[in-house]
Amino acid sequence: MRNARVISLEGIYKINEEDGFSNLVVNTLLNKSNLDKRDRSLATQLIYGVIRRRNTLDWIINKFASRQVKKMTPWVRNSLRLGVYQVYYLDKIPAPVAVNETVEAAKSKCNRGAIKFINGVLRNIIRNLDKINYPKLEKDPVQHIRYKYSQPQWLVERWVKNYGIDKAIEIANNLNKIPATVIRTNTLKTNRDSLIQSLVEDQVTAEPIALVPEAINLIKYPSIDRLKSFEEGKFQVQGLASMLVAHILAPEADDRVVDLCSAPGGKTTHLSQLMNNGGQVYAVDVHQHKLELIHENCTRLGITNVETICSDGREVSFTEKIDKLLVDAPCSGLGIMAKKPEIRWQKKPQDLLELQQLQAELLENGAKLLKAGGVLIYSTCTFTDEENIDIIKGFLEKHDNFKLVDLSQTAQSFGLTEYLTEGTLQLLPDDNLIEGFFIAKMVKSGNE
């Protein structure tokens, strides 16, 4: 039988060895399985936990195994990661049980020799748990952070260089926390207090979040898409920092707005909401299948002012000029690594350069579509200068008809002044509520 650990092992393998995406892998495996609620939750915890802590787990395995992780076969190294994760991080599972269960799961993937090896290494580790230590912080901060907080070396080097050692540790640690589930009240259908009341009636523990007027933190909840208030379209799941974007673009009820990279529609639907379902929102995305998600969300939320357009945002054009435009660009996603832990292993420094080019080209076309006096927002869910402030600087150098709108006042009103960077907002993954996120606002001058 494929129990929770066999399924976890398959998920970990798919993400680590085949560059799978954690959310898709977990959903697919769980939907195909017949695990009960408890085992589904265990498998989810094990998959996300192992991916998140991979560097730390490999460090420990390398200390106690006769062969380095890199030289092991993929099923062996991932079985060991699964075993060590339970032994080192999960107090609720007694270590001998964790070892036995992992070895049993590995039997479906490995030969007898490999099973003996896995068993030996895991038993060696449980005998020596108190001997696990990391490179010394004082001697080598990068290696210390890399292994203790399970992050790739290139990112740790950047964080130490840009923010100093203490902040780098804070960032690395925050990105290992289990992220909060934040929802946005659909003010077209309800208000936040009434929604919280409906949620409580549905056995959900929910709290308003002061930062954004529509935001609610779901602390304890059963499956979201089975909640009555979800089916009734009273809320949308959305990251807290993402919710700032529509407020900062501040569309009017009769505006023509373009969301140039719009799927799955988190910000599109928020814009519609702030426009009271008036005016027109054009939701552009290059992937047709992702536009279907916008349709689904709009139908559920009761939104009727959105037109979806399947097109490359670098090429799309409109007959009439646009009042407000959002470029929520494809990016490295380093700000949301708490939610998608595999990003840290899958993204490489060279990816940033490719993304940079696409981001600049999207912004370039977006700028053309705007009318004089129109407002342009550029946002990403990452915190690398190449994808953020450098893009804005490069753009403003080329376009003297665009001016940066200083976000100081906005930052003050949201209580986010510590994140102001040269008039833009560069949020860092601060605790388990705020994602790493970038927002720049510009206005087009002239009299077209």
Ligand X SMILES: C[S@@+](CC[C@H](N)C(=O)[O-])C[C@H]1O[C@@H](n2cnc3c(N)ncnc32)[C@H](O)[C@@H]1O
CB of 387 to ligand X, least distance (A): 11
Nearer to ligand X, 135 or 302 (CB): 302
Q: In terms of CB distance, is 83 or 264 closer to ligand X? A: 264
Q: Which is nearer to ligand X, 117 or 230 (CB)?
A: 230
| Percentages (nearest 5) of helix, strand, coil residues in the chain | 50, 15, 35
Burial of 36 (0-12, 13-18, 19+ CB in 10 A): exposed
Q: Can you name the residues that pair with 442 across neighbouring β-strands?
A: 376, 404
Question: Where on the chain is the footprint of ligand X (CB under 6 A)?
Answer: 242, 261-267, 284-287, 290, 312-314, 328, 330
Whole-angstrom Cα distance, residue 30 to residue 195?
29
Supply φ then ψ for residue 272, to 5 degrees.
-55, -40
Number of residues that make up the chain = 448
Annotated binding residue 58: no
The annotation status of 338 as a binding-site residue, yes or no, is: no
Between 256 and 267, CB nearer to ligand X? 267
CB of 308 to ligand X, least distance (A): 12
Choose between 286 and 404: whose C-beta lies nearer to ligand X.
286
Min separation Cβ 189 and ligand X, Å: 19
Q: What is the DSSP string of 365-413?
A: HHHHHEEEEEEEEEEES---GGGTHHHHHHHHHH-TTEEEEP-HHHHHH
Asked if residue 267 belongs to a known ligand binding site, the reply is yes
| 264 carries a ligand binding annotation | yes
Cis peptide before 222 (omega within 30 of 0): no
Q: Cα–Cα distance between 311 and 287 in angstroms, integer? A: 8
Q: Is 381 a catalytic residue?
A: yes
Find out whether 312 is annotated in a ligand binding site: yes
Please, is 75 exposed, middle or buried when counting C-beta atoms within 10 Å of its C-beta (0-12, 13-18, 19+)? buried
Q: Residue 26 has which token pair?
A: 């977990």
The least CB distance from residue 276 to ligand X, in Å, is 19
Q: Is 294 exposed, middle or buried (0-12, 13-18, 19+ CB in 10 A)?
A: buried
* Residue 265 labelled as part of a binding site: yes
Give min distance, CB of 264 to ligand X, in A. 5
Annotated binding site: 261-267, 285, 312, 328
**Which are the catalytic amino acids?**
381
Q: Which residue ranges are tagged as binding site for S-adenosyl-L-methionine?
A: 261-267, 285, 312, 328
